[in-house]
Structure 1
Amino acid sequence: MNSGAIRRRLALGLAVLTAGGLLAVASPGDAQAAVHCSGRKVRTLPFSAGSVQVYKRDGYVCAVTVVKRTSGRRSMSVSVQARGSRPVSDTGAYVHHAGPVTVHAGHRCVRVRGSVGSASVRSGWFLC
């Protein structure tokens, strides 16, 4: 392998590491949720300990509860329910986020719930 090929590979590796670091520093909450849910963000439900971020794509609705400040494992949950169906949820002890959970809503209304510790948020029916 010649020295030009080695330089190109090193430059590519450095560019990938730099881009990843900038993404993590620029917006850790949004970047983390975007990794787990595809589609466009349709709603953010903030509460004292974090937020529930809701995304929609091709009739599917995805939600993630993201903490405001990480400080070890905490009890977290996220739940999405399409009208006429049972809720789909994820509950456990997590560091950064609970979820993602995804339901097929089609053109039906959905409601979302999320919690971090004792703080929580719940929406009414939306996306009708």
Structure 2
Amino acid sequence: MGGGATRRRLALGTALLIAAGALTVAAPATAEATAENRAAPYCAGRHVLDLPFSTGTVHVYKRDGYVCAVTVPARENGARRTMSVSVQARGNRPVVDKGWYTRHAGPVTVHAGRRCVWIKGSMSAGTVSSGWILC
């Protein structure tokens, strides 16, 4: 083998190592961004709050007096499990979405205006309850 072929192979090997290192560094950030933004396609408005619990997170969005919430699992494994999300504006009854889902429960949207809301979410054994918030 000539010197030129050896240099080309060495350059190719170095380029592959650099590319693999870049993918290793970029992959965790991409996974985190995906987990945080899973609810974004379902709710309009700006993200105002996350309510994490042991098996998932309730993502809360607000726009023009409306509050929207979605429960997403901490890890998506494709299995159906019980999930729920509810949003209650003070003085009204809660709006609830509950069932056996694989990806998310909700979105649930209520008009709260300037009133406080109480948000609840659950998945399998984990639950979260916000108390009166966003007043």
Match of 1:45 among 39, 46, 51: 51
RMSD: 1.6
Q: What corresponds to 2:107 in structure 1?
A: 100
Q: What does 1:4-19 correspond to in 2, within 5 Å? A: none
What TM-score, normalized by structure 2, do the two folds share?
0.74
Q: What corresponds to 1:110 in structure 2?
A: 117
Give ranges in structure 1 of 5+ residues lacking alignment. Answer: 1-23
Q: What corresponds to 1:59 in structure 2?
A: 65
What TM-score, normalized by structure 1, do the two folds share?
0.78
Indicate whether 1:70 and 2:76 are aligned.
Answer: yes
Q: Percent identity?
A: 61
Write the letter of the residue equivalent to 1:40.
R
Per the TM alignment, residue 82 of structure 1 is displaced from its structure 2 partner at its CA by 0.1
Give ranges in structure 2 of 5+ residues lacking alignment. Answer: 1-29
Query: How many residues are paired up?
Result: 106
The 1:119/1:59 distance shift into structure 2, 3 A limit, reads same
CA offsets 1:33-74 (integer angstroms, 9 cap, x no match): 000001111110000101001000000000000101122110
Which structure's CA Rg is the greater one? 2
